[in-house]
Amino acid sequence: MLTTRPHLTTLRPSPTTISYTVSTASRRETLRSKLFHHILLSLRIILGLATLAVLLAKSLDEFHYMLNSWLEYIDKAPWSHVGPLSFASFFLVFRRFHTEESLLTLRSLGIQTSTLSPSYLLPSNTRFIPSSQIRDIFIHEAFRGFEVRHYLAVVVEGEGEVVVVFPKLLPGRAIVEEVWRGARECLYEPKD
Amino acid sequence: MPYNIAMVSDFFFPQPGGVESHIYQLSTKLIDRGHKVVIITHAYEGRKGVRYLTNGLKVYHVPFLVIYRESTMPTVFSFFPIFRNIIIREEIEIVHGHASLSSLCHEAILHARTMGLRTVFTDHSLFGFADAASILTNKLLKFTLSDVDHCIGVSHTCKENTVLRASLDPLMVSVIPNAVVAENFQPLALQKNSKLYSYDARPAPPPPQHLGPHDTITIVVISRLFYNKGTDLLIAALPRILAADPHVRFIIAGSGPKAIDLEQMLERRVLQDRVELLGPVRHEEVRDVMVRGHIYLHPSLTEAFGTVIVEAASCGLYVVCTRVGGIPEVLPPHMTTFAKPEEDDLVGATQKAIAALRANRIRTEGFHEQVKKMYSWTDVAERTERVYDGITGAISEEEFYGDVSGGGWSATRGRAGVQSFALIDRLKRYYGCGIWAGKLFCLCVIIDYLLFQLLEMLAPRANIDICRNWPRKGGKSERVDEEGDEATPLRMARSRASSRRKGRLR
């Protein structure tokens, strides 16, 4: 329910720029998934605000009167319990359940690969490879766990290992081939 | 009818050897005949993952633990998930295992039968029946061969051995010998006028070589220096051969655990100036070593076929070999002198061969042409293809097995040779393997079947990508996928090939 199979989104603002994004985020097409998404979002907000409130109440003396009546046990609970619990709750609130990886190709400039981090707080992991350093882009197969997967990789000049595009998701052959075709077309000037 | 074939064996390049080159040559020729072939082997040092060889031959180097002489650990089930994945993504129809010491091959045959595929097994070696290791191997062989569609032996001796070891019906074992690429093993004289040779004009017979009584005769030995290759016999016989004739030299190539014994003997007898040790030699250099000699000595103690003596004869060498295993079947009598696998007889046979060469009684010039006519990989591929036709039912059983009017087929068989995949029929076949072994094997097969069902649920077929085939030569693009324009797979293939050179997945 939280994630789907990897799907591809293509963005082409100009003939010389193309961005491919592979994501496992739910596409929210049906009413059910839309509803689920909104419920989840509101739950997260409520959980985040509640945790914030508890932390404020415990740390600032002015709010003690709030706790007197119906949440006395929070006041009594030691920090060694409240600390980890609120940490876990913040972790859940800011946790990104889906994975999203993208490849941005700019003609005569280069390509940028990026992987979104598993938390909304941390920055995404990006890498830019200037086109002068790109030797080749290819599709190959490799063992991963108990299966053989197709992967798209970029050969960078002066590096012993190739840079794998979409390293976490490793989408299937259909997606990888489409990205490979588009990226090559965009990266290199068409030969007339 | 083109088939999709997977060759499975622990033994493949970069390791040199007879089985390895057999698999490679056979696969190449089968691809030339329009089939699709992939090879599944374990990972070697620096060779892991998916590789392509010449002609679009795809090799899967599966990462696995190696225990002894490049054989993997026999774990029975752990290979199944990866194997199933490869079989599905390559759309394999026939699984062809090689070499009885390869546990990867046995496991693959078991899993392939569970998955409902046709299986063939090629045996490349002979085994005894008496010692503990042989008994264990034979039991294992009986296990996998209880439910195999067809077997191939590389010589009649090998067939007999396999039939006895695995209690098979002799009709389901074919004999298809090894072959040599005669072009790679030309004698010296032919190499010189190789232009003539390539124009396919019949080359003028090279002038016969005349050896006087005091000319030096060089004896070549090329083999891995293991016990079963007869290195001990060589160590014993070598000083006596050298002592009997002062004009004899030895060239020994190869490496192995017995190399130390050999070196020690040479040092003790101070024979270094008459014996040249070359160490390990690459397969493409073998010819250059062979043509330096006149006689090829093959002291092996057990040998199913002995490709190397065919290569030696093709290079125009007179062959002295032990009369063991399938060796007597390999070459016609005028090319060889046989000896019993013992010291005295080997020395005697070598001396006889030296005397015959000195008396110019042996015409080695014609050997190359004769060997070329006898052995070719194209022929091997054609005969293997016929086996595939037989097991898939493309040719009738009368045609495949000859006259079967006796009808001695067991009840567990649906049609002769074309065995049914039903689990109960398979269990019947395994149950007869022995009082305890039969039950154990049945248990293994049942677990394997359950594992297969589990995998079908955990990793459904729909989620496994079917991979593209290597583009066919000559514009026949019948197997190119639906959406691809014809140029695209080609380009992709090229860039895949470049990946082979450039790097690996992290």
Q: How far is residue B203's CA from residue B196's CA, in Å, rounded to a whole number?
A: 6
Query: Model confidence over B110-150: pLDDT tens digits?
Result: 999 999 999 999 998 888 888 888 888 888 888 888 888 89
Which of A139, A143, A161 is the closest to B49 by Cβ?
A143
Q: Does A137 lie at the interface with B, CB-CB under 8 angstroms?
A: yes
What pLDDT is recorded for position B492? 46
Does residue B472 have a pLDDT over 50?
A: yes
Chain B positions touching A141 (Cβ under 8 A) are 49-50, 467
β partners of residue B52:
B58
Alpha helices in B146-207 (DSSP H): 156-166, 188-192, 194-198
Does residue B405 have a pLDDT over 80?
A: no
Bridge-based pairing of strands A134-144 and A147-156 is antiparallel
Which of B86, B488, B496 is the closest to A140 by Cβ?
B496
CA contacts within 13 A on the Cβ side of B34? 10
Longest CA–CA span in chain A (Å) reads 80
Q: Into which CATH architecture does domain B182-374 fall?
A: 3-Layer(aba) Sandwich (3.40)
What distances in angstroms separate CA B185 from CA B180, B309, B367, B401, B453, one per listed residue?
8, 11, 11, 35, 50
Q: State the pLDDT confidence band at B414, using cuts at 50, 70 and 90.
A: very low
Q: Is B398 helix (H, G, I), strand (E, B) or coil?
A: helix
Q: State the pLDDT confidence band at A67, using cuts at 50, 70 and 90.
A: low
Q: State the pLDDT confidence band at A61, using cuts at 50, 70 and 90.
A: low
Query: Model confidence over B35-71: pLDDT tens digits?
Result: 999 999 988 888 888 999 988 899 999 987 666 666 6
User: CATH homologous superfamily of domain B4-179+378-467?
Assistant: Glycogen Phosphorylase B; (3.40.50.2000)
Does residue A1 have a pLDDT over 70?
A: no
Q: How far is residue B503's CA from residue A138's CA, in Å, rounded to a whole number?
A: 11
Tokens 């090689």, located at residue: B98
Tokens found for residue A27: 């596409």
Query: Model confidence over B432-457: pLDDT tens digits?
Result: 888 888 899 999 999 999 999 999 99
ipTM at complex level: 0.82
pLDDT: which is higher, B476 or A33: A33
Buried/exposed B148-164: b ≥16 CB within 10 Å, e otherwise? bbbbbbbbebbbbbbbe
pTM of the model: 0.81
Cβ-based contacts under 8 A for chains A and B = 80
Query: Model confidence over A123-154: pLDDT tens digits?
Result: 889 999 998 999 999 999 999 888 899 999 99
Q: Do domains B4-179+378-467 and B182-374 have the same CATH topology?
A: yes
Does residue B281 have a pLDDT over 60?
A: yes
Tokens 């997260």, located at residue: A44
DSSP codes joined into one string, B251-291? EEE--STTHHHHHHHHHHHT-TTTEEEEES--GGGHHHHHT
What pLDDT is recorded for position B138? 87
Nearest to B250 by CA among B297, B309, B212: B297
What pLDDT is recorded for position B497? 45
Q: How far is residue B331's CA from residue B296's CA, in Å, rounded to a whole number?
A: 13
Q: Does A141 lie at the interface with B, CB-CB under 8 angstroms?
A: yes
Q: In percent, how much of chain B has pLDDT > 70?
A: 84
Give the mutation candidate from B79, B465, B504 for the A interface (greatest A CB count, under 10 A): B465
Residue type, A36: F
Q: What is the mean pLDDT of residues A50-63?
A: 76
Which of A138, A172, A174 is the closest to B496 by Cβ?
A138
Chain B positions touching A174 (Cβ under 8 A) are 465
Does residue B411 have a pLDDT over 90?
A: no
Secondary element (H or E) of residue B421: none
Mean pLDDT, chain B, as a whole number?
83
Q: What is the mean pLDDT of residues B177-206?
A: 65
Q: Minimal Cα–Cα distance from B190 to chain A, Å?
A: 43
In chain B, domain spans: 4-179+378-467, 182-374
What pLDDT is recorded for position B469? 87
